[in-house]
Chains A and B, each alone.
Chain A
Amino acid sequence: QKEVEQDPGPLSVPEGAIVSLNCTYSNSAFQYFMWYRQYSRKGPELLMYTYSSGNKEDGRFTAQVDKSSKYISLFIRDSQPSDSATYLCAMSGNQFYFGTGTSLTVIP
């Protein structure tokens, strides 16, 4: 079983939709949870960072962590074509693990 599982998509939504991206994990030692955004032919860039359980909001983006279910989510409100990218979850405890990424396309 992989440490981190992420649905690769692809996910295609109309502009203005609410997007939900998810990851599950198996290691209960993970305490730090991150979301990276990767545009085509670019390096991943850190989008949001959360410690332990709970929610964190930054503009149109909300990161949610449910440690009891070993499940993390990223919500994008009022999605824009500029949000089209691959989104990678990442988490760390003693080691650092990435999900394989979900490809998102927002259609104008």
Chain B
Amino acid sequence: NAGVTQTPKFQVLKTGQSMTLQCAQDMNHNSMYWYRQDPGMGLRLIYYSASEGTTDKGEVPNGYNVSRLNKREFSLRLESAAPSQTSVYFCASSEAKLGGTDTQYFGPGTRLTVL
């Protein structure tokens, strides 16, 4: 039982390049989330998926797109990376939909630098 896995662990991009961050969970959770974590800002929700086939914007969705490929996998895409997207990205999953009687389980993170 690996929990939540993320790839890659580290990435350096040039401004304007695109990339996809991958996330998978093996806990049969319904909901999945993408956060970014910046110093002094805490965790900020980018997008979430309450169930397979649905996605919704979080607090900071601009510049990102997501795909809930199936129940296990939730990817985050940067179409044209900007230096402001330099951050640590965390994927999380939970059994129920956002809020409620739920706790979230996190992956190890992807450290992204945009030059």
Contacts and interface: CB of A to CB of B under 8 A. Distances in A.
Give the interface centre of A36, A46, A92 by most chain B CB atoms within 10 Å.
Answer: A92
B65 interface: no
Interface string A10-29: 00000000000000000000
A88 interface: yes
Interface residues on A, range: 20 to 34
A33 to B, nearest CB: 11
Interface in B82-115: 90, 98-109, 111
B108 A98 contact: no
Contacts, number: 50
Interface of B is mostly: loop
B41 interface: yes
Interface string A75-101: 000000000000010101111101111
Contacts of A71: none
B95 to A, nearest CB: 12
Interface of B: 4, 40-43, 45, 90, 98-109, 111
Given A44-B90, A98-B43, 7 more contacts: A43-B107, A88-B42, A92-B98, A95-B98, A95-B99, A98-B42, A100-B41
Interface of A: 8, 32, 34, 36, 41-46, 49, 51, 88, 90, 92-96, 98-101
29 contacts: A8-B40, A32-B100, A32-B101, A32-B102, A34-B103, A41-B109, A41-B111, A42-B109, A43-B4, A43-B108, A44-B90, A45-B106, A46-B104, A51-B101, A88-B43, A90-B104, A92-B98, A92-B99, A92-B102, A93-B99, A94-B100, A95-B98, A95-B99, A96-B102, A96-B104, A98-B42, A99-B42, A100-B42, A101-B42
